[in-house]
């Protein structure tokens, strides 16, 4: 799918792209820029390459509210609107109690920093700094309603981009053997072209003033639907407010007043609890995602 197509999805859902690179805080692996030499997607795949159900996250964008308060996402806490003093939201189809307080946090970031200081997640994908791959090779053989084991792994290399700047499908990337592989025990095959995932973590590429902030999407959920080659959908998860606060606490280029306002603003939208009776320390977020099939070259494969 061309980026123009995901742009249409983004416009429909009320989504604005505004993030950048960070390493996954769940492990100590640093995202590698990889080889700057793009692989020609038109060449035959090497013998050790597989394309059996590998999807590259080719586009990410924060979901914000539209002017009438509509967004996309999931009910992450099942507590209804008003938990932690933050109202839940609704989507265009009328689903209620959606958690996406990060949309409010974005307003505070814009007020205090401004968009020019926020690199988009697309920058980190297009340059090969953040290449998240989903192994969904068990999807096709599964029956609707079945559990589908899914792996999350990293790739390296510089993706080949099309004329419109979109990440092309069916190109070859290298497996990042130094990155941890995450197992999602039970994705769910909803129908022939729809997959849902629950209970995984993923790095959230974000930077402010040129400084990366290592945020992590925790207890994430995803809903992906296939149209042609591309899979599009939504990821919803919790982000630690303290991770964000720690990340900006020592920024040398951020005036103290702006830093304090930014920290206070982000902390004020925490709408989820890490434990049922604990304080509100997590911020819910929703993101639009597009994934495309790719070949993976594993140097260690026989």
pLDDT classification of 268: cutoffs 50, 70, 90: confident
Look at residue 31 and tell me whether its pLDDT is greater than 50: no
Rounded-to-integer distance, Cα 238 and Cα 240, Å: 7
Q: Which token pair is 87?
A: 């109202």
What's 201's DSSP letter?
Answer: E
What residues contact residue 58 under an 8 Å CB cut-off, 6+ apart?
A: 125, 159, 166, 167, 169, 230, 290, 291, 292
What's the pLDDT at 11? 36
Tens-place pLDDT, residues 134-167: 999 999 999 999 999 999 999 999 999 999 989 9
What's the pLDDT at 51? 57
What residues contact residue 112 under an 8 Å CB cut-off, 6+ apart?
A: 258, 261, 262, 265
What's the pLDDT at 272? 81
Q: Which residue has the higher pLDDT, 3 or 225?
A: 225
What's the pLDDT at 27? 40
Most confidently modeled of 28-42, 78-92, 255-269? 255-269
What's the pLDDT at 26? 40
Q: Which token pair is 237?
A: 């998860």
What's the pLDDT at 174? 93
What's the pLDDT at 80? 60
Query: Cβ(62)–Cβ(287) under 8 Å?
Result: yes
DSSP 260-301: HHHHHHHHTT--EESSTTS-EEEEEEEEEEEEEE-EEE-TT-
Rounded-to-integer distance, Cα 142 and Cα 136, Å: 11
Tens-place pLDDT, residues 12-22: 333 333 333 33
Domain boundaries, the chain: 3-297
Look at residue 284 and tell me whether its pLDDT is greater than 90: no
Q: What is the mean pLDDT of residues 171-182?
A: 92
Look at residue 257 and tell me whether its pLDDT is greater than 60: yes
Q: What is the mean pLDDT of residues 108-131?
A: 74
Q: What is the mean pLDDT of the chain?
A: 75
- Lowest-confidence segment of 154-158, 240-244, 251-255 by average pLDDT: 251-255
Tens-place pLDDT, residues 37-95: 444 444 444 444 555 689 999 998 887 666 556 666 666 666 666 667 666 666 656 56
pLDDT classification of 2: cutoffs 50, 70, 90: very low
Strand 15-16 relative to strand 295-297: parallel, antiparallel, unpaired? unpaired
Look at residue 283 and tell me whether its pLDDT is greater than 50: yes
Q: What is the mean pLDDT of residues 118-134?
A: 83
What's the pLDDT at 1? 37
Q: What is the mean pLDDT of residues 240-258?
A: 82
SS3 at position 33: coil
């Amino acid at each position: 799918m061309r980026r123009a197509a995901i742009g249409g999805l983004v416009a429909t859902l009320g989504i604005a792209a505004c993030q950048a690179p960070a390493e996954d805080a769940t492990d100590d692996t640093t995202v590698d820029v990889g080889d700057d030499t793009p692989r020609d997607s038109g060449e035959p795949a090497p013998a050790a390459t597989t394309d059996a159900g590998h999807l590259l996250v080719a586009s990410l964008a924060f979901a914000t509210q539209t002017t009438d308060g509509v967004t996309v996402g999931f009910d992450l806490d099942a507590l209804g609107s008003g938990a932690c003093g933050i109202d839940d939201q609704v989507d265009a189809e009328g689903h209620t109690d959606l958690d996406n307080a990060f949309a409010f946090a974005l307003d505070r970031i814009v007020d205090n920093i401004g968009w020019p200081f926020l690199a988009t997640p697309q920058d980190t994908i297009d340059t090969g700094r953040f290449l998240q791959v989903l192994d969904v090779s068990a999807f096709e053989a599964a029956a609707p309603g079945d559990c589908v084991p899914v792996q999350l792994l990293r790739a390296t290399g510089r993706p080949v981009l099309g004329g419109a700047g979109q990440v092309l499908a069916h190109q070859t990337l290298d497996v990042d053997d130094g990155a941890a592989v995450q197992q999602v025990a039970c994705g769910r095959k909803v129908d022939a072209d729809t997959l849902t995932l629950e209970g995984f973590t993923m790095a959230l590429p974000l930077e402010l003033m040129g400084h990366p902030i290592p945020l992590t999407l925790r207890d994430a959920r995803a809903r992906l639907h296939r149209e042609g080659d591309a899979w599009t959908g939504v990821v919803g998860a919790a982000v630690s407010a303290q991770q964000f606060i720690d990340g900006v606490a020592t920024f040398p280029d951020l005036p103290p007043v702006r830093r304090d306002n930014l920290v206070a603003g982000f902390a004020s939208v925490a709408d989820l609890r890490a434990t049922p009776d604990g304080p509100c320390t997590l911020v819910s977020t929703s993101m639009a995602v597009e994934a495309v099939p790719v070949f993976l070259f594993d140097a260690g494969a026989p």
